[in-house]
Structure 1
Amino acid sequence: MASREWTKHRRLLFLALLFCGFFIVSGVYALLKEDGKMGQSVMDQTALIMAGTDQEKTGEKAQIAIKVEQEALSLVAVGDVMLGRKIDDVMRTKGMGYPFLKTAPLLGQADIAFANLETPLFNQGNPSPEKEILFRGQPEYAQALSQAGFDVVSLANNHALDYGIRALSQTMTLLHGSGISTVGGGKNTDEARQPVIINEKGMSIAFLAYCKIEDITELHQQISKTKGGQGIPGIAPLIMEEIKKDIQKAKEKADIVIISLHWGGEYQDHPKNEQREIAHQLIDAGANVILGHHPHTIQGLEWYQGGLIAYSLGNFVFDQNQNARTQEGLLLHLKMQEAALRQAEVFPIYINQGQPEVAEGEKGAGIMKRTAYLSEQLGTQVRIKDGKGLIMPGDS
């Protein structure tokens, strides 16, 4: 009996210990679980606080970015604009604004829009007997350029005098009357060398324009040596000593100096070594941007000592349909702030029957790929994203 009772007591003791152990373990588990919830709650609250802080920071950054974007001065520059020959026919039949229908929004949104106008606007007079290729557009096309959004055009090119000095003089009068400033042309060569200065968003931008074409340069060198030449309308020739003086004078009045150069070999993909030397010297002299025209094909872009050189923007409004390259161009979008060039965007342009448009798909990709390749050969990187190119200071 005693043995059985002892066994019974041991079993009861064992069950009691087991029961107590169960409650102890359950209690500990409950405490740990609750503690875990509290810990997780604290972590969740911390995460929410941090997330809110990050959102506030992101919001602040976004506001700063928007502010910078709003304060930055934007300038759009395009290549050769020719409003004669087949383009004249198109504008007569489809309306004056037809060539600019698809690009006017980009031009109009910019603070300043610039082009090289390779057409005198004149419907009288006789053509120059020394030239085979002659351009001219109707006088009313000055209004079409204004409605398209252009603010400044260069007249320093080899077609400005196709119909003589009267045509050049009338072209300037018509453009000025339409609210468009002209640079590179004047009632004499001294006036042609004067800068056009535009003030926007607290900055002043000076434009200068010159023509390198040899026959024009020689003509104006002769004119400048004669007293009578002071009263003859003409365009500014590309003479380095004079341009350097003009840059220094412009810098006394403006924060940014932009130079348009009509130069280079037609239908060439690469600038000549002489062009690169000229461009580098002008940047060294104080120019910030050089805009090149005349080859009728795209050439590369180059960052040099904080300045941007676009050796050729190609065609913009033109009737050259003989090959794909003459139907392509670049629209350069510059952003400037605090008297410095901050960024350059490059849009691919395709000219469809005289009407330029921002090229998309394979066509746009091809234009940008070639632009990047030509720029890389000049030591400058063009980053391609979302169908356009981006160049930042230091991308060289």
Structure 2
Amino acid sequence: MSISMLAVSCASHDVTQDTAPAETNEAPVNVDELSEAAGSIATEEGSTAPSEETQPAKDNSEAAGAEVTVSFVGDLTLTQDVNVRNSICFDAVVGSDLDYCFQNCKEVFEKDDLTLANLENAVTDRKTHATKQFVFAMKPDNLEMLTRASIEAVNIANNHTKDYLLEGLEDTRKNLDEHGIIWSDQYYGAVYEVKGVKIGMFGLSNNGNTSQGFALIDQLKEKNCDIIIATCHWGVEARYEETADQRNLGRALIDHGADIVVGGHPHRLQPIEYYNGHYIIYSLSNFCFGGNNKLSDPDSVIIQCKFIMDETGGNCVDYRLKVIPYAQTSTRPGNDFCPKPYEWGSEDYYRCLKRLEWSTEDE
């Protein structure tokens, strides 16, 4: 198996409308202050025009007829709020056991070709943080939880990766790089190659918009990506239905060339839409969430998409989804930060499928 990683950059200052409440205590990102991703290729700020760099023709022979399975999981907050310290908080329950949280799903992730999660916390040892209701920063050494569980990639375009300001964001990127974890956001896409298939990834957060997404898709196409995954941090918290803004953005990204759109932020499962031959997963809910000691809704899922290449290896011609219903905790009530699969055919199992408006676990 040949695997490589490359980051590409995109910057945008466009104003956007978001369905989630704005965080007035957090200043807009100044793109000029952001450090470049390791191995990134800078482009003219705000430009959506193709770069002048000529890409070599892609050898598709290895990808001919390939089937690539990507697992998607929702929000990971591998810590507790900065002001919470008690016997049932994340750090107290998990302690130094780096295998604890993902012991019931590691085998699933090890069997796929790529696992992509939404990392909803900064990764830094800094103490100075934003003034806001919830502030999350995990210990850098705890990133080994992800590598041990075969979670290779994370989206960091969300409302918590700047909890420790721009310095904390730079720390987050640096620490992910040092642990070999692929990351992408609304400024940098990432490319991961497996079985000769190039998978491009990017994220959009509350301050992301359609033109920003289009620019990243265009740049990933320039990098000869066979598959493009868009991760969107959007919607309204505690809502089980997607908003019109989510639908409009998700469909626009598909129309512009994304192969699949995966959403998070509402902390609830939301429907899967099949649109123009592609899937839009509006919300995966939380998966391992240290932000709450009690869960008002424990339902979650692992969703796997099998991308099937044609016999030339030049085009992805089919998509197959598999839904695996999970609880965010192994013990109820409460939250022990150890996701566990629901028993097949149980009431809990079918409730997850109903939330997704999905008739069966495979399609």
Q: Give the TM-score category using the shorter length.
A: 0.7 to 0.9
Structure 2 residue aligned with 1:266: 237
Distance 1:283 1:367 in 2: 31
Structure 2 residue aligned with 1:360: 343
Q: Residue 203 in 1 paired to residue 197 in 2?
A: yes
More helix by share: 1
Counterpart contact for 1:256–1:340, Cα < 8 Å: no
Larger RCO: 1 or 2 (CA < 8 Å, sep 6+): 2
Amino acid across the alignment from 1:273:
A
**TM-superposed deviation, 1:375:** 4.1
**TM-superposed deviation, 1:248:** 2.1
Structure 1 residue aligned with 2:275: 304
Distance 1:124 1:249 in 2: 33
Structure 1 residue aligned with 2:134: 133
- 1:194-343 map, 5 Å: 194-212=188-206, 217=207, 238-252=208-222, 253-319=224-290, 320-325=292-297, 327-338=298-309, 339-343=316-320
Structure 2 residue aligned with 1:369: 350
Counterpart contact for 1:247–1:287, Cα < 8 Å: yes
Amino acid across the alignment from 2:90:
I
Amino acid across the alignment from 2:212:
E
Counterpart contact for 2:228–2:257, Cα < 8 Å: yes
**TM-superposed deviation, 1:360:** 0.9
2:67 to 63, 66, 72: 72
What are the superposed Cα offsets for residues 85-113 of structure 1, whole Å, 9 maximum, x if unpaired?
122222225x1221011111111211101
Counterpart contact for 2:75–2:265, Cα < 8 Å: yes
Distance 1:179 1:341 in 2: 30
TM-score of the two chains, using structure 1 as the length reference: 0.67
Counterpart contact for 2:273–2:280, Cα < 8 Å: yes
**TM-superposed deviation, 1:323:** 4.0
2:103 to 76, 101, 104: 101
Amino acid across the alignment from 2:258:
A
Structure 1 residue aligned with 2:125: 123
Counterpart contact for 2:325–2:353, Cα < 8 Å: no
Amino acid across the alignment from 1:200:
V
Q: How many pairs align?
A: 278
User: Which segments of 5 or more consecutive residues in structure 2 lack a partner in the other structure?
Assistant: 1-62, 81-88, 310-315, 330-335
Q: Residue 84 in 1 paired to residue 67 in 2?
A: no
Distance 2:338 2:259 in 1: 30
**TM-superposed deviation, 1:246:** 1.8
Structure 2 residue aligned with 1:14: none
Counterpart contact for 1:300–1:371, Cα < 8 Å: no
Distance 1:324 1:340 in 2: 40
In 2 relative to 1, CA 100–371 (structure 1 residues): closer, same or farther, beyond 3 Å?
closer
User: Which segments of 5 or more consecutive residues in structure 1 lack a partner in the other structure?
Assistant: 1-67, 185-191, 218-237, 377-381, 392-396
Counterpart contact for 1:334–1:341, Cα < 8 Å: no
Distance 1:134 1:271 in 2: 26
Distance 1:72 1:367 in 2: 31
Distance 2:92 2:125 in 1: 14
Structure 1 residue aligned with 2:328: 351
Amino acid across the alignment from 2:350:
K
Structure 2 residue aligned with 1:165: 166
Amino acid across the alignment from 1:172:
R
**Identity value in percent:** 26
**TM-superposed deviation, 1:161:** 0.8
Counterpart contact for 1:343–1:390, Cα < 8 Å: yes
Compare CA radii of gyration and give the structure with the larger one: 1
TM-score of the two chains, using structure 2 as the length reference: 0.73
Counterpart contact for 1:88–1:137, Cα < 8 Å: no
In 2 relative to 1, CA 285–161 (structure 1 residues): closer, same or farther, beyond 3 Å?
same
Distance 1:375 1:358 in 2: 16
Counterpart contact for 1:91–1:98, Cα < 8 Å: yes
